[in-house]
Amino acid sequence: MNVRETEIQLFHLTKRFGDFIAVNNVNIEIHHGEFFSLLGPSGCGKTTTLRMIAGLEEPSDGQIFLAGEDVTYKPAYLRNVNTVFQDYALFPHMTVEENIYFPLKMKKINRSRAQPMIEEALTLVNMTGFGKRLPQKLSGGQRQRIALARSLVNRPRALLLDEPLGALDFKLRIAMQKVLKDIQKNVDITFIYVTHDQTEAITMSDRICVMREGIIHQIATPDEIYNSPASPFVASFIGDMNFLDGQVIDQQGDTIITNVEGYQITSSRLMGTFSVGDSVVTCVRPEKICLVKVCGNEFMNKFENHFQSSIHRIVFRGNDYEITLIFGQSEIRLIESASDFNDKKIGEQLFIGFRKEDVTTYLKECKKVCDYETNLN
Amino acid sequence: MNNTSSFQRKKRSFPFLGVYGALVYIYLYFPLLVVFVYSLNSSRSTMKFEEVTFDWYAKLFQNKELLTSLLHSIQVSGLAVLFAMVVGTLGALFLNRVDFRGKGLFRTLAMLPIILPGIIVGLSLLIFFLNLKLQLSMWTVIFGHMSFTTPVVMFQVLARLARLSRNLENAAMDLGANPLQAFIYVTFPMIKRAVIGGALLAFTMSFDEIIITYFLTSTYNTLPIYLYGMLRFGLSPEVYAISTVVLGFSILLIILMARYTGSGEEKITMS
Amino acid sequence: MKPTSTDNLKPKWRGFSSTHSKIRIGVPIIAWLFLLIIIPICIMLVTSFYVKVGSVVIKKISLANYLEFFRNSIYLPIFFRTLLLALMVSLTSILLGYPLAYLVSRKVKRFRNQLYMLVIVPLWVSYLVRIVAWRTILGRVGVLNTILLSIKIIDKPLSIFIYSPFAVYVALIYIALPFVFISIFNSLEKIPENLLDASSDLGANSINTFRYVILPLSMPGVISGFTLAFVIALGDYIIPQQLGGLNGMMFGNLIVTQFGYAYNWPLGAALGFIMFTVAVIILLISQKFGSSEGFLE
């Protein structure tokens, strides 16, 4: 099976609710067998997009292709994709077995032929023996697994999951994340996963699509999203980030020098084309900043950006410390592991350094929306 | 921290509230008791009580007119409720699924037959039917009853639907059920109780209904009409006997209703 | 793979969210609404503008019936008497019903459901049966007189109980009380327990908690119950007929005679429309200030 075979395509998909544009000209191509996440804050349109793929919401504009077939106007019950809902949506008046049998029943498979398939589905989610129970008698995690089994028993081409782990407590959620990944690999089904939890998306996905206010900001692998966020929004949404305003004072090839709070910062990760005088947003991740007491030559060579500063705030986080330093009129945060901390105090004068490759610069008016071309690769 | 817990608050109750409550209950039940007692009186007078007898009840079974009117009541209420179950359920689905301006107005209008005095409903329908040149008969009575049985069922089902997760029907369709199948296999089983509960309630209301019926009938009698006619001639043991039977039947229906809709309602609000 | 250009004509969406299928579901109820509610009321309104001259109904628009309502020497007084009685019945029902609802809702631990049901049961007992009962109790040879005679408070049976506004009043309260009870009970039940804890915590004793927390929050139920009782009392004509006598005649009786002996339908429709207007006004007030759910539990 060609791994790059296209499973799902969305072309200029748009959904309007009256004057409100929930999904705005979304273009996505998802490959077979991929674990693809739609990530974004509440109201960004990710669930609406998912529902349109499922056939539960009618697009205002655009097209949806499943395995090459235009299904834009096909109702949900004729599409070969299944959904795992956030509230599981198990039928309370049916037993677990009857719930799982339901999609097979709709395909006119009689009960005796279906029984082994039902058993297989239960085994897949590790719930053998629960067949005769009623959903109300199950715990949250158990219901979630039955919902999963029910959606998978038909072997759909793709599984759509709408924040399925949202209602579970932390430990259970971590455990279920592993279960989902295992099942996905076992069954070789495309997963489209909607979540607002960036950690979840980063750990589980092959690719992530970051959305905000109906617009896609970036579609890329977790690594790319983390290290090369395409817009300040993506940079802020994933992981922690320092944001500093400044102005371009020099530009040399793939590097620019920015005046930030009176300091000069060199950046080689450029998101856009810059000219001298442009207003920009300079970003650097806290964990990429190094803190030393003495600034030697080796330090200065390694980190093109090095400055002296004093500690403003120290927050103990168990595993590490978050140290805030004064940076001109602004602040800059960094992370230091507990073992390296060594009793630093507020007001202490220290040196910080970070490489130009770790500084991402965006144009101030960056409302970066991904190009059609760059995403279909 | 304030020491007064809710538990203690309850204990410091006004003792005469209990006495008052008892008095109200007596007020509510004494009349019914009276009716029952007098139905057993062998004397026709309401001033004296002779001996306990069930004769009056026995006589009821020989009262052809009474039995016919009873049959008519069952026919009318049965048909009106059947209509209400179908149209009311469809109406509830409609109101639950479709959003449109003026939905509040729609709901208010639909509730009018229950809330407005029976006179208004009765006379407006009477004028309407006669303008349509319809003869007053069993059917006009049934139409009149349809006006209030329908909203009773509809609002019960609507309340039930409101508590149902929308995703259940979505899930059914997502898994391959077309809209009709989704309704039959998923939605309907879950609103069944509300439909039947509403039907029982509507049946009780319809069985007892007199004002609208009176407007819309000429010679066709339902049980309340018959009883009302008897009242014109004054009170009599027969009246008490009929009344007690109706009383007993009502209580039976209530118990049935309570059993069916109250207990045994599974926790449908699950996710 | 780029798609071919979309068709100009979008095919009909066959999903469940299709407006077409949803509207089809609505057809029966909309038809019902028009045929049994909207059209009849409109026709009633139109008929109220016709005039009956002799034995012929003249189908020309005229305000004669409404003018008659205002000019006639008995219509207006009876109308106001009816309003007054309805007001008194409602107020009394609230006064009687509130403590009862409070008792069952807040003060009773065991048998709560049973006590609730006990108030509801009379509601479902036949309306006529209840009238029979009151006629028996209040009548000249009725229970009340019998008791009073036997304990020698009076030496002759009194006829003041029956065939008087008082009898109508008592019987109407009997009918309205369960409705009022349900309404107030429901609104009391909806008050979250933690509000009372908070009130107590902030220093309010029972009386103040009742006055400043419970009473205001139960007001929607009180208003709903009031309007329910009012409309019941407003439109009833059987109780006045059975128990009211001449002095107990109410507006409903006036209307009914227009469809009976007096046989003046346009006038009846006009009077009916006046009653309808009063009822609608009351109901609108209830919708605005009363509790949102109906009493159809």
Nearest 10 degrees: Cα torsion C69, C74, C80, C86: -110
Alpha carbon of C296: minimum distance to chain B alpha carbons (Å): 7
Domain co-membership, A208 together with A174: yes
Q: Do C17 and A58 touch (CB under 8 A)?
A: yes
For residue A377, the chain C residue with the least C-alpha distance is C1
Chain B (202-241) residues lying within 8 Å, Cβ to Cβ, of chain C: 204, 208, 210-211, 215, 224, 227-228, 231, 235, 239-240
Q: What is the pLDDT of residue B14?
A: 62
Domain ranges of chain C: 19-48, 64-289
Domains (range + CATH), chain B: 64-262 (1.10.3720.10)
Whichever domain contains A139, its CATH number is 3.40.50.300
Domain co-membership, A166 together with A113: yes
Interface test mutation site (partner C, options B119, B141, B181, max chain C beta carbons within 10 A): B119
Percent over 90 (pLDDT), chain B:
40
Domain co-membership, A246 together with A289: yes
The number of distinct structural domains making up chain A is 2
Q: Which domain holds residue A22?
A: 6-235
Percent over 70 (pLDDT), chain A:
95
Position A369 in a domain: no
Domain co-membership, A176 together with A314: no
Domain co-membership, A89 together with A47: yes
- C210 burial type by CB count under 10 A (0-12 exposed, 13-18 middle, 19+ buried): middle
Position A160 in a domain: yes
Of A218, A235, A252, the residue that ends a domain is: A235
Residue C131: its chain B contacts at CB < 8 A? 231
The answer to whether residue A355 scores a pLDDT higher than 80 is: yes
- Find chains touching chain C: ≥3 CB pairs under 8 Å: A, B
What are B118-166's pLDDT values in tens digits?
999 999 999 999 889 888 889 999 999 999 999 999 999 999 999 888 8
Position A144 in a domain: yes
Q: What is the pLDDT of residue B89?
A: 95
Entry pTM: 0.80
Kindly provide the ipTM of the predicted complex, given to two decimals: 0.84
The answer to whether residue B10 scores a pLDDT higher than 50 is: no
For residue A8, the chain C residue with the least C-alpha distance is C1
Domain co-membership, A185 together with A257: no
Nearest 10 degrees: Cα torsion B97, B103, B109, B113: 30
Residue B175: its chain A contacts at CB < 8 A? 77, 82, 102-103, 106, 150-151, 154
Beta bridge partners of residue A36, listed in sequence order: A192, A207
The answer to whether residue A371 scores a pLDDT higher than 90 is: no
* Among A165-179, A236-250, A309-323, C3-17, the least confident range: C3-17
Domain co-membership, A12 together with A28: yes
Q: Which of C3, C15, C17 sits opposite A70 (nearest CB)?
A: C3
Domain co-membership, A231 together with A245: no
Domain co-membership, A39 together with A167: yes
Q: Going residue by residue through chain C (297 aa), what tens digit of pLDDT does each one get? A: 444 444 434 454 544 455 667 788 899 999 999 999 999 999 999 998 888 877 777 778 888 888 888 888 888 889 999 999 999 999 999 999 999 898 888 877 777 888 888 888 887 778 888 888 888 888 767 777 777 777 777 777 666 677 788 888 989 999 999 999 999 999 998 888 888 888 888 888 888 888 888 898 899 999 999 999 999 999 999 999 888 877 778 899 989 888 877 788 888 899 999 999 999 999 888 888 877 655 443
Position A31 in a domain: yes
C-beta atoms surrounding B219 within 10 Å: 7
Better pLDDT: C194 or A207: A207
Whichever domain contains A352, its CATH number is 2.40.50.100
Q: What CA–CA distance (Å, rounded) separates C52 from B175?
A: 65
Q: What is the pLDDT of residue B11?
A: 43
What are B235-265's pLDDT values in tens digits?
778 888 888 888 888 788 777 777 776 544 3
The answer to whether residue B77 scores a pLDDT higher than 90 is: yes
Of A189, A206, A235, the residue that ends a domain is: A235
Position A375 in a domain: no
Domain co-membership, A259 together with A216: no
Position A298 in a domain: yes
Q: Do A75 and C1 touch (CB under 8 A)?
A: no
Alpha carbon of A31: minimum distance to chain B alpha carbons (Å): 21
Domain co-membership, A59 together with A159: yes
Query: Is A158 within 8 Å of A8 (Cβ atoms)?
Result: yes
Better pLDDT: C144 or B68: B68
Q: What CA–CA distance (Å, rounded) separates C286 from A42?
A: 38
C-beta atoms surrounding B204 within 10 Å: 23
Domain co-membership, A112 together with A125: yes
* Per-position DSSP letters for chain B, written without gaps between them: -----HHHHHHS--HHHHHHHHHHHHHHHHHHHHHHHHHTBSSS-SS----B--HHHHHHHH-HHHHHHHHHHHHHHHHHHHHHHHHHHHHHHHHHH---TTHHHHHHHHHHHHHS-HHHHHHHHHHHHHHTTPPPSHHHHHHHHHHHHHHHHHHHHHHHHHTS-THHHHHHHHTT--HHHHIIIIIHHHHHHHHHHHHHHHHHHHHH--HHHHHH-SSPPPHHHHHHHHHHT---HHHHHHHHHHHHHHHHHHHHHIIIIITT-------
Instruction: Give domain C64-289's CATH number out of 2.30.31.70, 1.10.1330.10, 1.10.3720.10, 3.90.1150.10.
Output: 1.10.3720.10
